[in-house]
């Protein structure tokens, strides 16, 4: 495949003709800001930062970039944790946040139509105002964009019951590198005409096309919700409670866990009365009809008690429920405050193997002398082992990388994945072949070549 190279000198002038001079940035501040994303330790430097306002402008930029063989890195809010928007080979960072209109919320068709730069929370709020639910809710929902959610196929706290972003993408308008605009799917629930390109674009991490409009499935909003928490002496008991809950005929909306390190960090950070002596905390919840919620919450509480929970509490008010969920959302900021550098990972295993996986992570942490807190979506088998350390301690940083290499190898050996929701990006590319095998990786590259023969879209990332 042809490789994109650094930008020629007339690039800025040609881009200005498409989007206007004020929307092409080459000042040092912009190049610094857009050289990085939420991933620690990774940085690049773009040649230009371009902020288009419409599909035709995206097409114009891609036409020029393809002709000049300049890399293009599509970007929403840059909250990804896999260095997916780091311009490590230079090029154009194409920021889609000016394309932030919600075009339609249709209660009749149960769809939303929006531009990619709409923030997830804005879409959820617009849907809620019409009595509807947009279920994907990554922890970054106040900042992340819908385009970024689709490109990463983001999950979140409700994935166990409602699925991930992919399950809500009905239609996509996207621009190919030569500037051709394609549409795949639409507002239909049933449509099997041709290969399912919109699904292929879910999780494509900006390597196949730039998405410029999304048609998303909405659901009727649930009438009510319930939230509870259970403490356990150790994570093995909590993991067995997860299996018991799932076997009890309940499909919870939330089933999240925190290990001892995370409980301690969250309590130190937000002082909400968590029991610091506990070995594990399980947060469970349900939504829907009030009668069904009462029944399911009772069943989940019983399952936790049956597996030796030391304390089970059901939130008695919305405020109390919000506090419980806030504890889960606070884990990352709480851990981040312990040391200057936080590396959060995303290994996923079959849910029946969570306890075993966490035990292996703890063994590795002890052996390597690292502080690793593990939390995550217990119901999905999606773990976020998070190491906190001093960035200046290069030996510790090396040990952390080695620890994650080992954690990914164990996840794969258990039939899991190197990433459940954060994507491959730049940082996990070297682990991809181990999971997929050389043959499948070669197929990914052929698909990439069909979309992007000159290799200009996010080169050096997934599929490149
Ligand atoms: C505190 C915190 C909590 C988080 N919690 C979660 C969580 O619970 N679940 C989860 O899944 N993730 C989570 N994330 C990761 C991240 O927020 C998600 O991946 C999010 O969807 C990224 O959206 P973004 O707008 O920031 O995209 P960006 O980071 O800007 O881009 C992400 C990827 O999408 C591509 N892209 C962006 N827009 C387009 C487009 N229009 N067309 C084509 N490609 C595009 C980029 O090239 C890049 O590869 C979290 C991150 C943080 C910092």
What is the mean pLDDT of the segment spanning 431-439? 95
What is the mean pLDDT of the segment spanning 127-148? 96
Ordered DSSP codes for 166-188? GGGEEEEEEE-TTS-EEEEE-S-
Tell me how far the alpha carbon of residue 426 lies from the centroid of ligand 1, in angstroms. Answer: 13
Say whether pLDDT at 7 is over 70. Answer: no
In terms of Cα–Cα distance, which of 373, 368, 374 is closest to 354? 374
- pLDDT grade for 464, boundaries at 50, 70 and 90: confident
- Quote the CA–CA distance of 201 and 224 in Å, as a whole number: 34
Calculate the alpha carbon distances from 275 to 55, 259, 315 in Å: 52, 12, 16
Write out pLDDT tens, residues 335-344. 999 999 999 9
- φ/ψ of 449, rounded to 5, equals -65, -35
**Across the chain, what does the average pLDDT equal?**
94
- pLDDT grade for 6, boundaries at 50, 70 and 90: low
CA-based torsion, 43, 49, 54, 58: positive or negative: negative
pLDDT of residue 327: 85
Give the angle 95-100-103 at the CA atoms, nearest 5°.
Answer: 145
pLDDT of residue 352: 86
In terms of Cα–Cα distance, which of 165, 157, 167, 166 is closest to 382? 157
Write out pLDDT tens, residues 70-111. 999 999 999 999 999 999 999 999 999 999 999 999 999 999
Write out pLDDT tens, residues 344-359. 999 999 988 988 998 9
Tell me how far the alpha carbon of residue 226 lies from the centroid of ligand 1, in angstroms. Answer: 28
Write out pLDDT tens, residues 371-383. 999 999 998 999 9
Total residue length of the chain: 464
Token reading at 262: 């995370």
Which residues line ligand 1 at a C-beta cut-off of 6 Å? 37-38, 73-81, 84-85, 96, 116, 138-140, 144-145, 147-149, 151-152, 154-156, 205-206, 210-211, 332, 421-422, 458
- Quote the CA–CA distance of 146 and 446 in Å, as a whole number: 27
Q: Which atom of ligand 1 lies nearest, measured to the CA of 174?
A: 42
Q: Which atom of ligand 1 lies nearest, measured to the CA of 143?
A: 26
Calculate the alpha carbon distances from 59 to 21, 52, 99, 139, 448 in Å: 17, 10, 14, 31, 18
Q: Which atom of ligand 1 lies nearest, measured to the CA of 332?
A: 1
End-to-end CA distance of the chain: give it in Å, rounded. 9
What is the mean pLDDT of the segment spanning 24-34? 97
DSSP-derived secondary structure letter, 99: -
Ordered DSSP codes for 418-439? S-SSS--TTTTHHHHHHHH-HH
């Amino acid at each position: 495949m042809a490789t994109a190279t650094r930008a020629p000198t007339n690039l800025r002038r040609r881009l200005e003709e498409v989007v206007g001079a004020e929307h092409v940035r080459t000042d040092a501040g912009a190049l610094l800001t857009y050289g990085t994303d939420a991933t620690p330790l990774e940085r690049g430097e773009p040649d230009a930062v371009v902020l288009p306002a419409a599909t035709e402008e995206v097409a114009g930029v891609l036409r020029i970039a393809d002709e000049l063989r300049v890399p293009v890195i599509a970007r929403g809010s840059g909250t990804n944790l896999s260095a997916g928007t780091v311009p490590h080979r230079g090029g154009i960072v194409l920021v889609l946040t000016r394309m932030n209109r919600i075009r339609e919320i249709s209660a009749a068709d149960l769809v939303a139509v929006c531009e990619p730069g709409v923030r997830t929370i804005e879409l959820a709020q617009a849907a809620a105002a019409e009595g509807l639910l947009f279920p994907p809710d990554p922890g970054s929902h106040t900042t992340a964009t819908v385009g970024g959610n689709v490109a990463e196929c983001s999950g979140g706290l409700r994935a166990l019951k409602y699925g991930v972003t992919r399950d809500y993408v009905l239609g996509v308008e996207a621009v190919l590198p030569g500037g051709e605009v394609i549409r795949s799917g639409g507002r239909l629930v049933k449509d099997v005409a041709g290969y399912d390109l919109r699904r292929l674009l879910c999780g494509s991490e900006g390597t196949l096309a730039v998405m410029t409009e999304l048609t998303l499935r909405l659901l009727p909003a649930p009438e009510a919700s319930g939230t509870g928490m259970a403490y356990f002496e150790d994570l093995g008991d909590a993991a067995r409670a997860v299996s018991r809950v799932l076997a009890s005929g309940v499909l919870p909306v939330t089933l999240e866990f925190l290990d001892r390190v995370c409980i301690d960090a969250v309590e130190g950070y937000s002082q909400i009365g968590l029991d610091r002596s506990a070995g594990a905390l399980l947060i469970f919840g349900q939504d829907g009809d009030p009668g069904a919620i009462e029944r399911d919450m009772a069943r989940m509480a019983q399952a936790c008690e049956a597996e030796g929970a030391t304390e089970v509490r059901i939130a008695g008010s919305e405020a109390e429920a919000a506090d419980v969920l806030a504890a889960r959302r606070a884990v990352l900021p709480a851990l981040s405050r312990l040391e200057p550098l936080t590396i959060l990972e995303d290994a996923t295993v079959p849910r029946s193997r969570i306890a075993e996986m966490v035990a292996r992570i703890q063994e590795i942490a002890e052996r390597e002398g690292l502080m690793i807190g593990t939390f995550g979506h217990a119901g999905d088998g999606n773990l976020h082992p998070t190491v906190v350390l001093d960035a200046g301690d290069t030996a510790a940083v090396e040990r952390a990388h080695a620890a994650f290499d080992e954690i990914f190898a164990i996840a794969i050996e258990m039939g899991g994945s190197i990433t459940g929701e954060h994507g491959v990006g730049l940082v996990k590319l070297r682990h991809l072949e181990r999971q997929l095998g050389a043959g499948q990786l070669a197929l990914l590259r052929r698909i990439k070549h069909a979309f992007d023969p000159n290799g200009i879209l996010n080169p050096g990332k997934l599929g490149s």
